[in-house]
Amino acid sequence: MVGNDRREHCRTALSAKVKVQHATLGEFLFSTRDISDGGIFIVVESDPFEPAMGDRVQVQVQGLPVPAPVLEMVVVRKTNDGFGLQFADQ
């Protein structure tokens, strides 16, 4: 680790469309900014998506030739432009 970066996994830039479902906030379509072995970062621009830290969401990559699996993820970080989601079984 370098400086204040406490990340356990190396990030790889990735722009993909993902469907995010939250039990009370509903269903949204976002773009990813990066991915790692631990999770993804979703970019939230104008949608009213304000989950609490620790909330669980279901995430599915969109636009593939076959349906992608639905993954359980946990909200672990919030920034001005989006949220960091961690795979739930990590």
Residues 59, 19: contact at Cβ < 8 Å?
yes
Answer yes or no: are the C-beta atoms of 8 and 17 closer than 8 Å. no
CATH 2.60.40.10 fits 12-87, yes or no: no
pTM: 0.86
Reported as a single tens digit per residue, the pLDDT across 47-69 is 789 999 999 999 999 999 999 99
Residue extents of the structural domains in the chain: 12-87
Between these two residues, 9 and 55, which has the higher pLDDT value? 55
